[in-house]
Amino acid sequence: MTIGAFFYIGYLVNQKNSRLTDISEEAAKIKTEEQKKLENNVFSTRRKINDFAKIIDQRKVSTGFFKRFEELILPEIYFSQCKLDLAQTTAELSGHAKTFQSLGQQLAIFEKAEDAITSVVVQKTGINDEGGVDFSVTIGVNRQAIAFK
Q: Which CATH class is domain 60-148?
A: alpha beta
Q: Which residues contact 48 (CB under 8 A, 6 or more apart)?
A: none
CB 137 within 8 A of CB 93: yes
Mean pLDDT of 85-89: 82
**Confidence (pLDDT) at 105:** 96
pTM: 0.59
pLDDT, one tens digit per residue, over 107-132 is 999 999 888 889 999 999 999 999 99
Rounded CA Rg of the chain? 36
**Confidence (pLDDT) at 149:** 45
> How buried is residue 148: exposed, middle or buried, by Cβ count under 10 Å (0-12/13-18/19+)?
exposed
More confident of the two residues 16 and 107: 107
DSSP E strands, the chain = 60-61, 77-85, 90-97, 117-127, 133-141, 147-148
Q: What are the domain boundaries of the chain?
A: 1-58, 60-148
Instruction: Please give the backbone phi and psi of residue 116, each rounded to the nearest 5 degrees, phi first.
Output: -120, -30
